[in-house]
Amino acid sequence: MNAALRAVVRAALGRGAEVIGFNHGYEGLINDESRNLDSPSVGGIIDRGGTILRTARSAAFMTREGRDQAMAVLIKNGCEGLVVIGGDGSLTGALKLQEEFDYPVCGVPGSIDNDISGTDFSIGFDTAVNTAVDAIDRVRDTAYSHERVFVIEVMGRRNGFIALEAGLAGGAEAILVPEMPFSLPDIGAELLEAASKGKRSSIIVVAEGAAKADDVREALSECTGFECRAVVLGHMQRGGSPTAFDRVLALRLGHLATNRLLSGFRGEMAGLAGNLLVSHPLTFVLSSERQIDPEKLLLSEAMAQ
């Protein structure tokens, strides 16, 4: 998000606009936690995780009264347009400002779950996947040395994008995602068959929305008799220095969103299709759901043989 913020600020300054940032997202907007952003203020942040503006949930912004107050703050500060960086909740808030006040907004997709329609990648996803893969690689060393089964839980309440990508890259023996049904007894039988052929350790990657790591561990221990361990990666996937891919993606999307907004377009979200930059209406983005790639699910099954 810092890389995207850097791109927004410098793209706007390059076109003669002034930039104001609001700390703590919509909550900070309601409370007028504004700060002037110039080129030096976004220097040296491209390698930092998170956001220097920080973020917060805002129950107040979900009400019309809260949005009225937010609009009053924007007018007070002379803001003529707003770039919103975030997930579906943040983008929904941006669309509300446009629909209710005819206010110019443009979105940048920021979600490690990669669940936002209208873009192949959201900023943060690649970094989260690489963090998970690094953990899987480290755990595999222990699994191999001690001849154990490890169940690794990654983030993904409603989808398995992180689990599938990290599981494939980490060579997992099974990947459990919310989108696809699975049978733990069947997975246990597959582990037993692999053990009969000499395999002494395995990695199971599970998205948090599919099952809990401890429940999977307990079930597999019971049906196989193997010593199983559970590892929950949790919020460590959200932090750390962003990957080169995420940094460049954030720069491109932030730059595009700002230029679209300054060129008179509104109610859009910047995105990536293949390697091409695109822009879609927020109404489309928020009315559809991004689906997991079924070919990758088939690939994961083939690789587990």
Other C-beta atoms within 10 Å of 115: how many? Answer: 21
Residue type, 6: R
Q: Which residues are catalytic?
A: 113
The phi, psi pair for 202, rounded to 5°, reads -150, 155
Distance in angstroms (rounded) separating the CA atoms of residues 148 and 195 = 11
User: What does the chain come to in residues?
Assistant: 305
Q: What is the DSSP string of 152-197?
A: EEES-SS--HHHHHHHHHTT-SEEE-TTS---HHHHHHHHHHHHHT
Strand locations in 191-253 (E): 202-207, 228-232
Q: Rounded to an integer, what distance in angstroms lies between the CA atom of residue 169 and that of residue 164?
A: 9
By the 8 A CB rule, do 70 and 32 touch?
no
The DSSP secondary structure of 103-157, one letter per residue, reads --EEEEEB-TT---TT-S--BTHHHHHHHHHHHHHHHHHHHHHHT-EEEEEES-S
Angle between helices 2-14 and 244-262 (to 10 degrees): 40
Q: Which residues does residue 228 pair with via DSSP β-bridges, in sequence order? A: 149
How far apart are the C-alpha atoms of 214 and 89, rounded to whole Å? 30
Angle at 239 between CA 82 and CA 31, to 5 degrees: 35
Q: How far apart are CA 282 and CA 297, in angstroms?
A: 29
